[in-house]
Structure 1
């Protein structure tokens, strides 16, 4: 049995820097990965999806040319070239990680599936490894519901939809959240008919109703179709594609006919084949690994990072997990992940940026509120760019004028919301921005209209 100072299972955006930093300290580190290095972000998440979204955005901009007095010939989409560009960019990111791992003499990469055989023992490819410090970074995989007939069709997930050789004639997406909307708009802009089926009464159901409605209006204007408050009851293969039967809340049924089916209804943790029972490591009912604020599992000397622990499943969260562990285990600090601010974005167009509480969440917590809201159509720079869809919204604690949360649905929404996050991190009142000087014309200048709209609610 080989003994290491640390074993990291999984090479996601938290696991890789953790393993590399430990190795740089002179620790003997084992990194176990059965797939490609880099985790979901580089291989079938952030990097490839946003690369393809960029291609779709260019196609859409070309089609809008006449609105700006620019006339071109018919726009031709070449899926092979789009996929090749995506692969090149993802591959370059992955190669960078591979080089960092390969060039570290204290870091040993095991290609295979790691499984606990005891609290501090891991088996991979028939070989036993042991360590007093083990870190689980195995991520998640697409959640697949037992819908009758689903196993009879060649359905798509985020793992394989980006390798399609042709633009789907009609893409049906199950799920009106991040993946369903991003891929839906992407392929709509490349030429697909798109229908999104969502069980909730609005898309992005975590957001306030007017935010979901504003985004839905924008996507419908581009030609996307929605079936909300609808449950998928049956899927059937047809000679030229597939049929999806849905049931609405009033009991009526509808059959949708499409060429391709995307399943985008959430994620399942990769914890079920880790041998956690052999180690005595606890999970919740969904299979996410239980942990405390310091990312410690119930077994001493075993930590969990990234999506497999549950909670917000974002690359920047995984990376922050890594920073917390390094501070606690190496730098002598006492940090936790409790109550940290987690910004996030939805890369549709208009783009959604969000930090903190929504109005609905804040009211549920009993806060007295001030609310500000302004349409992007009030922002000069958005008008000049021809990108006026969406809105800005801010949620304020009326008792101390601190920002509880903010939503920006509009051009560069993910960038803009982080300006408001800085105010929140500084524990500064929202009024600090009332008399701030913003460059004209910029999108951030829209904060003037947003702050001017604040009133008790």
Structure 2
């Protein structure tokens, strides 16, 4: 029997996996509740994919507007950025998606509790509601979907400067004016997207990266190509460099200085705003997981098995909180695992579909960095293929006819194949619509096509896709 404070299914946190699952359980007749402390929809909808790509679209327009003369288009004057309008456009689109999440959950009959939850026992949680009240709830099955958040590096002097000028991937999207000089700590995907974006808005941008290359996951030649593109955009980049301290400066426009140790010696970088893009940490430290017997890694990620089950009975973890690739599409795919194993009659998959994470070929997990040009990748990287006999094709995007017609020739395509079988092992496109080209190769890899199948295919002309005819001529 279900009492008012007990549910069949309870979700701690919203998100791309939790939301569809909560609706599925509710539609299956299970008494379902969701606790959310911030905004329904999770990181992607509220502070991740949706808002960042919305603002990046504004940056693309600014970039093309400045290049209008190259296309024979006169814009009639200098490009001006209205950050209040940029921000409002972002807010409007987020609100549209967020309200859709609310309507979908309420329409399915999910009991929504806005507040912060923490475990006080096995599948029992205390909830501090936003109304100020505190209640306790329990459930037969609990799903933890609390995501992660930006980390804050321990740099002397960081806490002593004006914190309104210290931003992360969430707060930077709420700026109401363009920074005079944005100093970016971190050369990963978040740092690169925002660094290029605000350069296009007119800010001076300097990136401080501790590693020897940008985007450390990528092959060195791809990272080097990206660095040259950003150099061309006017972004100053310090590789193999570390921020040693931050100090105040007597300048109203550039009120702090980041003191950096570089391979060439010490450098002092004056700045107006500081973007912390040095990584993310799981939102588990406030959940009192030990009370429920839930084990974590040393970094705080919840340990799960191939079916996303934690060390506690009938408790599962979804999305970024359990580690692994922190992508929205991985979080959503987690919902497929749960559907298949716990709601088989209501699953979107067929009975023949694989049921465990180990059998889903996540080696083919794709991702896209939304710099311009985009960086799309699927499959393995060079470092994963040591000892294997391979061939690699690298083709500049300036050899792609459609890219030239669009006046977007920056970047490169790279494919690595098995030298004997022709299997496509990894593919990267750092180029215009790189994510879309990558997705075509991903489908070929999923279908078991060989590189020569793509070379022999008849692609429409003129399209970016027809570059897959020519890429393989560069194999060596």
Number of aligned positions between the proteins: 451
SS at match of 2:57: helix
Asked if 1:368 corresponds to 2:396, the answer is no
Q: Which moved more, 1:14-23 or 1:145-154?
A: 145-154
How far apart, in 2, do the equivalents of 1:42 and 1:76 lie?
Answer: 28
How far apart, in 2, do the equivalents of 1:205 and 1:133 lie?
Answer: 39
Cα RMSD after superposing both structures: 1.2
Asked if 1:185 corresponds to 2:196, the answer is yes
Asked if 1:242 corresponds to 2:262, the answer is no
How far apart, in 2, do the equivalents of 1:207 and 1:135 lie?
Answer: 33
SS at match of 2:261: strand
User: Which residue of the other structure, out of 6, 14, 39, is the alignment partner of 2:9?
Assistant: 6
SS at match of 2:278: coil
Asked if 1:167 corresponds to 2:187, the answer is no
1:400 positional shift: 2.1
User: Which residue of the other structure, out of 67, 76, 81, is the alignment partner of 1:64?
Assistant: 67
Provide, for residues 341-369 of structure 1, a one-character-per-residue CA deviation record: whole Å limited to 9, x for no partner: 21000000111000011123222xx3211
Asked if 1:357 corresponds to 2:358, the answer is no
How far apart, in 1, do the equivalents of 2:61 and 2:193 lie?
Answer: 15
How far apart, in 2, do the equivalents of 1:313 and 1:273 lie?
Answer: 20
1:389 positional shift: 0.6
How far apart, in 2, do the equivalents of 1:180 and 1:444 lie?
Answer: 29
User: Equivalent residues in 2 for 1:200-215 (5 A)?
Assistant: 200-215=211-226
How far apart, in 2, do the equivalents of 1:349 and 1:361 lie?
Answer: 26
How far apart, in 1, do the equivalents of 2:391 and 2:307 lie?
Answer: 34
Provide, for residues 383-436 of structure 1, a one-character-per-residue CA deviation record: whole Å limited to 9, x for no partner: 000110100011112232211110000000011101111111112222211210
1:80 positional shift: 0.6
User: Which residue of the other structure, out of 417, 424, 431, is the alignment partner of 2:445?
Assistant: 424
The answer on whether the counterparts of 2:226 and 2:411 sit within 8 Å (CA) in structure 1 is yes
How far apart, in 2, do the equivalents of 1:437 and 1:431 lie?
Answer: 12
User: Which residue of the other structure, out of 301, 326, 336, is the alignment partner of 1:323?
Assistant: 336
User: Equivalent residues in 2 for 1:260-339 (5 A)?
Assistant: 260-331=273-344, 335-338=355-358, 339=361
SS at match of 1:112: strand
How far apart, in 1, do the equivalents of 2:71 and 2:392 lie?
Answer: 35
SS at match of 1:113: strand
Structure 1 residues without counterparts, runs of 5 or longer: none
Q: Which moved more, 1:313-322 or 1:419-428?
A: 419-428
User: Equivalent residues in 2 for 1:39-50 (5 A)?
Assistant: 39-50=42-53
How far apart, in 1, do the equivalents of 2:365 and 2:158 lie?
Answer: 35
1:249 positional shift: 4.1
Match of 1:21 in 2: 24
SS at match of 1:353: strand
TM-score when scaled to structure 2? 0.93
Structure 2 residues without counterparts, runs of 5 or longer: 129-133, 346-350
SS at match of 1:110: strand
Asked if 1:88 corresponds to 2:92, the answer is yes
SS at match of 2:167: coil
Match of 1:222 in 2: 233
How far apart, in 2, do the equivalents of 1:271 and 1:139 lie?
Answer: 8
TM-score when scaled to structure 1? 0.97
Asked if 1:435 corresponds to 2:439, the answer is no
How far apart, in 2, do the equivalents of 1:300 and 1:429 lie?
Answer: 44
Asked if 1:75 corresponds to 2:83, the answer is no
